[in-house]
Amino acid sequence: MSVRTEKVASLIKQELGVIFQRNFSMEEYGFITVTEVRVSPDLKIAKVYVSVFGDAERKQRSMDLLEQEKNFVRAELGHGIRLKFTPSLIFYLDESLDRAMNINRILDKIHKDEAEGKE
């Protein structure tokens, strides 16, 4: 990515965090965190990776609600940052944090089992 696309991606990530915090209740949407934004070289498409705290059903419901509110989010984004074009948003569920926590859980269990075996 070029420096410009990285700066724009960073601005979009920051602004989306504010938009989600201000406009979407945690009870309805869950705890949504923008983990990464990737912008196309022409700045017309932004792939937004979000993490949702909760079980699989909560995550799916939150992603469905985000998809329904995509036009509102894009309009708010256009008001918050000044670009020639407000990029189209594509939301993706980022499950890398869940995988990392699962790996940590497995490693902790291995270390615990090894410690019990030495005693």
Reported as a single tens digit per residue, the pLDDT across 74-111 is 999 999 888 888 999 999 998 776 667 778 788 877 87
How far apart are alpha carbons 88 and 34 in whole angstroms? Answer: 16
Reported as a single tens digit per residue, the pLDDT across 49-58 is 998 887 788 8
CATH superfamily, domain 3-118, is K homology (KH) domain (3.30.300.20)
pTM: 0.77
Residues 61 and 31: beta-carbon distance below 8 Å: no
